[in-house]
């Protein structure tokens, strides 16, 4: 049905408004999408911009499957600059002029499993494996309030219960803060 709607839109060449609760439909059909929460516009932008640069934590957690990984912690300024701290997770971040409570968010494809101890951001136990054919979703125990998910190639060798090193792609980290959890970086 999505393909037929897209074909119809292209053939007619007119402006269309399509209302859906299905994020896959929104991402694949929309040239621009509006994310609304409780009647309030949260973000209006092209689909990839909404995915890559979510305006706030609600948008970040609403768009994306599997969902974005999050951990609540603190941004502190140290000699080396700003750092996000939560338990055993300490990451250099860019949040000039901000200190205080924050939520770190990172998409599953920006989380890597590593065996080199010096390259890890934290170590987590593997809680579950979800082989999907073209990819493997690895569910990790923490950090944060819920399991993290890492999207890797299907031939990645790992097993439930194993401890594994985890590395975050620094260019893909989002920080959210304030009463409305607006994206800082």
Name the residue among 41, 1, 56, 49 with its Cα closest to residue 25. 1
At 1 the pLDDT is 80
DSSP-assigned letter for residue 108: G
How many angstroms separate the CA atoms of 142 and 95, rounded? Answer: 23
Task: Provide the whole-model pTM.
Answer: 0.88
At 29 the pLDDT is 87
At 34 the pLDDT is 95
At 117 the pLDDT is 67
Long-range Cβ contacts of 81-90 (<8 Å, 24+ apart): 84/173, 84/175, 86/143, 86/144, 87/142, 87/143, 88/122, 88/123, 88/143, 89/121, 89/122, 89/143, 90/121
**Series of mean pLDDT values for 10-residue runs along the chain (185 residues):** 80 84 86 94 97 97 94 90 90 89 96 83 94 96 87 94 93 94 90
At 131 the pLDDT is 96
At 12 the pLDDT is 85
Contact present, 106 and 173 (Cβ < 8 Å): yes
At 95 the pLDDT is 85
How many angstroms separate the CA atoms of 152 and 175, rounded? Answer: 23
At 23 the pLDDT is 86
At 18 the pLDDT is 82
Contact present, 138 and 113 (Cβ < 8 Å): yes
How many angstroms separate the CA atoms of 88 and 174, rounded? Answer: 18
């Amino acid at each position: 049905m999505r393909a037929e709607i897209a074909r119809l839109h292209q053939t007619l060449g007119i402006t269309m408004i399509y209302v859906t609760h299905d994020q896959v439909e929104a991402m694949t059909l929309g040239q621009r999408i509006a994310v609304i929460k409780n009647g309030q516009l949260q973000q209006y932008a092209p689909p990839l911009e909404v995915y890559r640069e979510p305006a706030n934590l609600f948008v970040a957690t609403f768009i994306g499957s599997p969902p974005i990984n999050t951990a609540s912690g603190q941004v502190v300024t140290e000699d080396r600059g700003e750092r996000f701290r939560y338990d055993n997770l300490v990451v250099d971040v860019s949040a000039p002029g901000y200190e205080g409570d924050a939520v770190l968010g990172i998409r599953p494809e920006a989380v890597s499993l590593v065996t080199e101890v010096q390259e890890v951001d934290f170590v987590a136990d593997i809680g579950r494996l979800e082989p999907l054919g073209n990819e493997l979703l690895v569910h990790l125990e923490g950090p944060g309030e819920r399991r993290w998910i890492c999207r890797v190639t299907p031939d990645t060798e790992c097993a439930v219960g194993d401890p594994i090193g985890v590395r975050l792609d620094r260019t893909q980290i989002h920080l959210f803060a304030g009463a409305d959890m607006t994206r800082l970086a």
